[in-house]
Amino acid sequence: MKQLITRLKQSCQKHVLVIGDVMIDEYFFGNVNRISPEAPVPILLEEGKEWSLGGAANVAANCKHIGLDVSLIGIINDKDHEGQRFLAQLESNKIAVAGVVYSSERQTTCKRRFLSKNHQMFRLDTETTHPLTAEEFAVVKARIVSMLKPGAIILVSDYAKGMVTKELMDFLRQQAEIFQCRILVDPKGPDFEKYYGVDIIKPNLREYQQMVAYFNLPVENSIEANGRLLCDVLGLQGIIVTLGEKGMVYITQDVCLTSPAYKREVYDLTGAGDTVVSFLALGFAHLLPIEDCLRLANNAASLAVSHIKTYAVSLEELISRADEMEEKVFFDWALLKIELDWLRIEGKRVIFTNGCFDIMHPGHIHVLKEAKRLGDILVVGLNGDESIRRLKGASRPVNNVSSRATMLAALGMVDFIVPFDDDTPAALLEYIRPDVLVKGGDYKRESVVGYELLRSYGGEVHIIDFLQGHSTTNIIKAVTQAVK
């Protein structure tokens, strides 16, 4: 990941046109130490006030911060106090105001948040939500034509404040075809049909559920199944559903990829979706594989939510925290192999073991500790959920692959975890070719999957006895009996 981010930082700027509902965020910071005598409500004693860009403008600020060539189109009232504050924030963020449309018929959207000790107490909004007038729409279209560059990413940030209408989306699709651009949408209901024909749509889980209800899809379907149906009814190339602490999932008619979230303490979720869509745009603009796009967005979002207020994550910050953020879990085998190749150049000896690790117990710890003694780098192959169902039955696994990987990653002796979906790790072993293969149990070495492979290139196979009396199956039986 560190090498990827460095390459992005050094590459030439790519153009992104951000269009949508812009707003100004106002933060009141203070302290509560008494209750009002007028009503049973806390009194916030103001100690400070700050402003930041919100909505589509925050998306633009994020894009600008990570080196994209950004144009922003939105509508405000430049005569009200909020509009003037908005323009000042654009200037301080070095975002051109050329795409801002002024209207005396609207209020500048403002979200005022009141915080005590960094905890949000309540929010006060001012806004105008009626659709663009014919005159306003004509000006917006002119801005699009003058600012859109060939091959750009069009990033639509819809907050349902009246800017993003069906007419606007129709016009954007026409221009995207002319300029050979891709359209990425961060949607908002209730009208989801207006997004028909865009390339990628990125709802959060709540918006995804609203889309399922809007198009009357079977609620009992999985996210993957309904994601494919949404791609069909909206003519999408793909849909990315963000799942909060569970990461995100990318779905097309042929592909379903899950990208686990990077765990970090959450202070403020404000603007996290803006961060995700900005980094997705960065990845799309540089034609990165979708797996890398998802990883970038997940890592950036984990940093954004660890700050108070909306926060623009920079590539420099991702690079500086790369060692801290680098997860042990590699769903992409190729990325793991790159890491292992570098470690082998340094003379490191790679050990491999595998299993389900559904419910961690002392037997697992014993095998992992003994395996690590045989070399320098311990790689754990982790059976995927479908693999375990085929091997153990429909009731397993108890914990999904993300949860199991998280538990393994917390163990100091484990260096890398790599999930696989086959019934055996044969293909994975062929791909990474460890120096040592370890199996726990009472196997004969010759019967271990991978024995002949390692023997062919001089590798070693070791059998480590299980600790007696420890079994995932027995734990499940004991729990089941206790419940009865």
Q: What pLDDT score was predicted for residue 320?
A: 56
Rounded CA-CA distance 233/302 in Å is: 32
Last residue in a domain, options 325, 355, 373: 325
The SS3 assignment for 295 reads helix
E strand or H helix at 318, and its extent? helix 315-320
Phi, psi angle pair for 70, to nearest 5°: -110, 135
> CA 64: distance to chain centroid?
19
Rounded CA-CA distance 390/369 in Å is: 28
In angstroms, how far apart are the furthest CA atoms of the chain?
A: 83
The SS3 assignment for 90 reads helix
Q: What secondary structure does DSSP assign to 141-175, as a single string?
A: HHHHHHH--TTPEEEEE--SSSSS-HHHHHHHHHH
DSSP designation for 465: P
Q: What pLDDT score was predicted for residue 169?
A: 98
Residues 341 and 299 in one domain: no
Residues 302 and 343 in one domain: no
Residues 321 and 352 in one domain: no
Rounded CA-CA distance 113/27 in Å is: 5
Mean pLDDT by 10 residues, the chain (484 residues): 62 88 94 92 91 94 92 96 96 95 95 87 94 96 96 96 97 97 95 96 95 96 95 96 85 88 50 85 90 84 66 67 62 85 87 90 88 94 91 84 84 90 94 94 86 95 77 57 57
Contacts of 248 (CB under 8 A, 6+ apart): 240, 241, 242, 258, 259, 261, 276, 294, 297, 298
Number of domains in the chain: 2
Give yes or no for a cis peptide into 218 (omega within 30° of 0): no
What's the sign of the alpha-carbon dihedral 93, 99, 105, 109? negative
Domain extent for 437: 333-483
Residue 268, phi-psi category: left (phi > 0), alpha (psi -120 to 50), beta (remainder): beta
Last residue in a domain, options 300, 325, 350: 325
Rounded CA-CA distance 67/443 in Å is: 55
What six digits make up the tokens of 323?
A: 């060692």
Using CA atoms, how far residue 56 sits from 22, 112, 336, 402, in Å, is 5, 17, 36, 32
Residues 78 and 62 in one domain: yes
pTM: 0.66
Residues 264 and 203 in one domain: yes
Residues 315 and 383 in one domain: no
- In 167-284, which ranges are E strands? 182-186, 200-201, 238-242, 248-251, 256-259
Which residues are 307's β-sheet partners? none
Q: What pLDDT score was predicted for residue 325?
A: 43
Catalytic residues: 274
352, 357, 361, 366 alpha-carbon torsion, rounded to 10°: -10
Q: What secondary structure does DSSP assign to 381-436, as a single string?
A: EEE-HHHHHHHH-TT--SS-HHHHHHHHHT-TT--EEEEE-SSSSHHHHHHH--SE
Sheet containing 460-464, strands listed edge to edge, beginning at the edge strand earlier in sequence = 416-420, 377-383, 350-355, 436-440, 460-464
Residues 243 and 177 in one domain: yes
Contacts of 214 (CB under 8 A, 6+ apart): 189, 190, 192
72 and 22 Cβ atoms separated by less than 8 Å: yes
Residues 388 and 449 in one domain: yes
Rounded CA-CA distance 317/294 in Å is: 18
Last residue in a domain, options 306, 325, 344: 325
How many other CB atoms are found less than 10 A from the CB of residue 267? Answer: 15
Residues 292-304 as b or e (16 or more Cβ within 10 Å = b): bbbbbbbbbbbbb
Name which of 33, 22, 27 is nearest 124 in CA terms. Answer: 27
Residues 310 and 372 in one domain: no
Rounded CA-CA distance 475/471 in Å is: 6
Q: What pLDDT score was predicted for residue 319?
A: 62
DSSP designation for 356: -
How many other CB atoms are found less than 10 A from the CB of residue 399? Answer: 18
DSSP designation for 204: B
Q: What pLDDT score was predicted for residue 154?
A: 98
92, 94, 100, 102 alpha-carbon torsion, rounded to 10°: 30
Contacts of 168 (CB under 8 A, 6+ apart): 19, 132, 137, 140
SS percent in the chain: helix, strand, coil, step 5: 40, 25, 35
Q: What pLDDT score was predicted for residue 324?
A: 46
Residues 251 and 382 in one domain: no
CATH code for position 77: 3.40.1190.20
284 and 184 Cβ atoms separated by less than 8 Å: yes
Residues 340 and 316 in one domain: no
CATH code for position 369: 3.40.50.620
Residues 439 and 361 in one domain: yes
Q: What pLDDT score was predicted for residue 73?
A: 98
